[in-house]
Amino acid sequence: MVDSTKTAGSDSQAVVRRADELDAPDAILPFDRRDQLAALLTDDDVATLKHLAQEGMGENTLRALASDLGYLEAWCRLATGDPLPWPAPEALLLKFVAHHLWDPVKRAEDPAHGMPAYVEVGLRAERLIRADGPHAPGTVRRRLTSWSILTRWRGFTGAFGAPSLKSALRLAVKASNRPRQRKSKKAVTLDILAMLLQACAGDRLVDVRDRALLLTAFASGGRRRSEVAALRVEDLADEEPV
């Protein structure tokens, strides 16, 4: 027979320990979310984040990875009853897409379509989702990308380039029928990029560098300025598109 008191105490001690360990990258991870992340993340998750901080990963990138990892762990526990597996099986990636990108019309006819109610209730209780309806495709892709990056950092090869996942994403985005919106009121559009590139169209090394930075930032989905400024050649890696 399992002593529930001891089990609860052990879980509580683990959360406190993880919270203390998250103090190491405290300047990077927001303090007001430290305790929440400590409750959501596993010991291995915290170790990975600490390693990334020690490796000099950009602050904004690390914050985004930590936030996405916390969400993924919470979703996986609610959806499967277990922590996030590494590497994630293809079926779990497909489940993630199905839970977050769904057809509102079909959902009205079939409440079981999309994210199960108990998963949604749990995520809302953790204040991890607030809006109604399917998630933004960009958010889903970003979390899959974060998942892929963290998988690679753990030394695994995931199924993020699987044809079934690409197909599911494409069909789910179409079915969700969510209007595309610009993330920023001052986003760099293609016409602005063209003018910026024209300004550094020379043959000097500084021009070549500036063009490379601009094109990399634009082609990779719109990087933050701090991320681009901190980018190094060794940070670049070929990844299967998701």
Taking the whole predicted model, whether its pTM rises above 0.85 is answered as: no
Q: Is 39 exposed, middle or buried (0-12, 13-18, 19+ CB in 10 A)?
A: middle
pLDDT at 60: 75
Cα separation, 240 vs 204, whole angstroms: 33
* Residue numbers in the chain where pLDDT is lower than 50: 1-8, 25-27
E-state strands within 68-204: none
pLDDT at 37: 74
Percent over 90 (pLDDT), the chain = 27
pLDDT at 119: 95
pLDDT at 84: 93
Cα separation, 68 vs 225, whole angstroms: 20
E-state strands within the chain: none
Cα distances (Å, whole numbers) of residue 139 to 100, 122, 184, 197: 9, 19, 14, 28
Cα separation, 79 vs 146, whole angstroms: 19
What's the sign of the alpha-carbon dihedral 102, 106, 109, 112? negative
pLDDT at 30: 57
Enter the tokens of residue 172: 């789910």
pLDDT at 1: 44
Query: What letter represents residue 36's amino acid?
Result: Q
Residue written as tokens 């009121």? Answer: 185
